[in-house]
C-alpha cells in the first residue's frame, strides 16, 4: 500500500479508501471501547485522527507503546468522521512503531509552551503547530522567490560565503581563520599577521553577496542571490540575528525607477503566492498570533506603493504634531518610529523613500546631480518599517574612486570591483531583503528567532 502524506489524505481521500501514513503521534485519548490517536507528519496544520478499537490484535500492549512523540506507520481504511470539524478519520488495521517514547517524558505535551521555552528545545519545536506553520510558510516563500525571478529570466548565482570584502563598511564581521589561536603570529606592532593565515589575508563571513552579484549581472544582465549572510552585531533584540538569509537581485541596464518597480512587484508576488499555498497556516497565524496578518498581506498585494524622496519624508515628519523619540533632521537616517508613522498614519500603505543623503549611505550608491544625495531606496511597510533596501550603483569609475577615497576605504582591496567600471560599465541597480524579516512580517511572529529553524544570536550557537 503506497504511503501518503497526512495533508494529502485530509484534503482529498474519500471513505472506504485504504491508506498508509507515517508520522509522529501528537495525542492519545483512551475510552472504554476504543482509543483515538492523532498523527502528524508536518505536511499539514491538521492531524489525522486514527481509531483503534478493542478488536485490534494485542490492543492493550499496542496502546501502551503509542505515546505522544512516538514515530509510527499506520495502515487502515478511511471512514467518515462523526466528530465536529473533521471530514474523515482512519480506522487502523496495522501499526508499526519506529521510534518509541517513554510515557510522560516527551517535552512537548498537550499544553501551551512559551516560545522562549521552545527555543531551548529547537531540535523538537518544529513539531508544534506554530513552528510547523512558520516553516511551511518559509518553504512556500522560498519557492515563490525563486519562481518570481526564474519566470523573469534571472540567473540564480551563488556568491561566496568566505570573503575579504566588507560590502557595507560597518565592520561587523566574523573573522574566519586557520591560525592557532593559542599561538598567533604577530606583526611588529602586535597586530595579528594574517599573511600567515590560510588565505594570506584576513577573511570573514560575508555580510552581503551584492558586490559579486554586480560582477555577475554585468555578464548575465539579471541575476539574484539567495543565501546566508552574517553580522557580528551584538544585538539581543527581537529583530536581529547573527546568521540570516538575504535575497539580493541585481539588474544591468537598470536605474532607480526600475529598481523600485521590481521591488514592489516582488513583494506583491511573494505575498500572493504564500496566501495561495498556505491558506490554513496563514489562517492559523491570523487567529492565534496576530489578527491583522491576513489584512496585512492583502494590503501589500492590493496597494499601490507611495513613492516619495527623503526630503519630502523629512518635511512630513517635521510638520507632524507627533513627538518622536529620535529627532527628525535632514541628514539623519529614518528610525523605525519615523518609518511606521509614514506608512501607518500618513499614507496608510507601503512607502518607498528614495534619494537619501550620501553621507549615511554606502560607497557604491550612485551620486545624484545635487552632490548631496544618492539614488537609494528603502521600501517601508506598516507595522515593521524598512523591509527592502536598495540603490542604483555608481557605474562611473571616477565618481566611485572619489567616493572610496572619501570614505577611507582601501582601493586596492576593491581593484576587481573598479575593473567592472573599466570594462563595459552600464547603469545597474539592485536591492536586498532580509528573508527572516519578511517571514516575521508575513506571520506576525513577535521574535525573529522563531522564524528560522536554529537561530544564531549573541552567546547562542546551540543545535
pLDDT reported for residue 279: 97
- Residue 246: all three cell numbers together: 538575504
- CA gap 71, 61 in Å, rounded: 16
Nine-digit cell at 183?
599561538
Report the predicted TM-score, pTM, of the whole model to 2 decimal places: 0.95
Burial class of residue 327 in the structure, from the number of CB atoms within 10 Å of its CB (0-12 exposed, 13-18 middle, 19+ buried):
exposed
Q: Strand, helix or coil at 84?
A: coil
Q: How is residue 350 written as a grid cell?
A: 507601503
Asked if 66 contacts 28 with a C-beta cutoff of 8 angstroms, the reply is yes
Cα 184 to Cα 181: distance, rounded to the nearest angstrom:
6
Enumerate the H helices of 70-164 as residue ranges. Answer: 115-119, 129-151
pLDDT tens by residue, 259-300: 999 999 999 999 999 999 999 999 999 999 999 999 999 999
pLDDT of residue 169: 60
pLDDT for the residue 168: 67
Tell me phi and psi for residue 262, to 5 degrees. -65, -40
Contact 354, 263 (CB under 8 A): no
Q: Are 355 and 368 in contact (CB under 8 A)?
A: yes
Beta-strand relationship, 34-40 and 48-53: antiparallel
Q: Which phi and psi (to 5°) does residue 257 adopt? A: -60, -45
Neighbours of 319 (CB within 10 A): 9
Ranges of the chain whose pLDDT falls below 50: none
Amino acid at each position: 500500500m503506497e504511503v501518503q502524506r497526512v495533508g494529502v489524505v485530509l484534503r482529498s481521500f474519500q471513505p472506504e479508501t485504504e491508506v498508509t501514513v507515517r508520522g509522529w503521534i501528537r495525542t492519545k485519548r483512551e475510552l472504554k471501547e476504543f482509543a483515538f490517536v492523532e498523527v502528524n507528519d508536518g505536511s499539514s496544520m491538521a492531524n489525522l485522527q486514527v481509531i483503534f478499537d478493542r478488536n485490534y490484535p494485542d490492543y492493550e500492549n499496542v496502546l501502551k507503546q503509542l505515546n505522544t512523540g512516538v514515530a509510527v506507520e499506520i495502515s487502515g481504511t478511511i471512514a467518515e468522521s462523526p466528530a465536529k470539524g473533521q471530514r474523515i478519520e482512519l480506522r487502523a488495521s496495522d501499526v508499526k512503531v519506529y521510534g518509541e517514547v517513554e510515557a510522560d517524558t516527551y517535552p512537548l505535551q498537550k499544553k501551551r509552551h512559551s516560545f522562549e521555552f521552545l527555543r531551548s528545545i529547537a531540535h523538537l519545536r518544529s513539531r508544534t503547530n506554530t513552528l510547523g506553520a512558520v516553516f511551511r510558510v518559509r518553504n512556500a516563500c522560498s519557492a515563490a522567490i525563486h519562481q518570481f525571478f526564474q519566470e523573469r529570466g534571472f540567473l540564480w548565482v551563488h556568491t561566496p560565503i568566505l570573503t575579504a570584502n566588507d560590502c557595507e563598511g560597518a565592520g561587523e564581521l566574523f573573522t574566519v581563520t586557520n591560525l592557532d589561536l593559542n599561538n598567533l603570529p604577530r606583526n611588529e606592532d602586535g597586530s595579528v599577521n594574517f599573511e600567515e593565515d590560510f588565505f594570506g589575508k584576513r577573511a570573514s563571513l560575508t555580510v552581503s553577496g551584492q558586490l559579486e552579484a554586480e560582477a555577475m549581472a554585468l555578464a548575465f544582465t539579471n541575476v539574484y542571490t539567495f543565501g546566508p549572510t552574517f553580522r557580528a552585531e551584538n544585538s539581543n533584540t527581537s529583530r536581529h540575528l547573527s546568521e540570516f538569509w538575504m535575497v539580493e537581485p541585481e539588474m544591468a541596464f537598470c536605474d532607480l525607477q526600475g529598481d523600485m518597480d521590481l521591488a514592489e512587484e516582488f513583494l506583491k508576488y511573494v505575498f500572493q503566492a504564500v496566501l495561495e499555498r498556505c491558506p490554513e497556516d496563514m489562517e492559523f497565524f491570523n487567529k492565534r498570533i496576530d489578527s491583522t496578518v491576513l489584512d496585512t498581506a492583502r494590503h501589500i498585494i492590493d496597494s499601490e506603493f507611495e513613492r516619495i524622496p527623503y526630503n519630502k519624508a523629512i518635511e512630513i515628519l517635521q510638520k507632524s504634531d507627533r513627538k518622536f523619540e529620535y529627532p527628525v533632521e535632514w541628514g539623519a537616517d529614518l528610525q523605525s518610529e519615523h518609518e511606521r508613522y509614514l506608512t501607518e498614519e500618513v499614507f496608510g500603505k507601503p512607502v518607498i523613500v528614495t534619494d537619501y543623503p550620501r553621507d549615511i549611505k554606502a560607497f557604491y550608491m550612485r551620486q545624484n546631480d545635487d552632490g548631496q544625495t544618492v539614488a537609494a531606496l528603502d521600501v517601508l511597510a506598516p507595522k515593521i518599517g524598512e523591509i527592502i533596501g536598495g540603490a542604483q550603483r555608481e557605474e562611473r569609475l571616477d565618481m566611485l574612486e572619489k567616493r572610496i577615497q572619501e570614505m577611507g576605504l582601501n582601493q586596492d582591496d576593491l581593484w576587481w570591483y573598479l575593473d567592472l567600471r573599466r570594462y563595459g560599465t552600464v547603469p545597474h541597480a539592485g536591492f536586498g531583503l532580509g528573508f527572516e524579516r519578511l517571514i516575521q512580517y508575513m506571520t506576525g511572529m513577535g521574535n525573529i528567532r522563531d522564524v528560522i529553524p536554529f537561530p544564531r544570536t549573541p552567546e547562542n550557537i546551540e543545535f
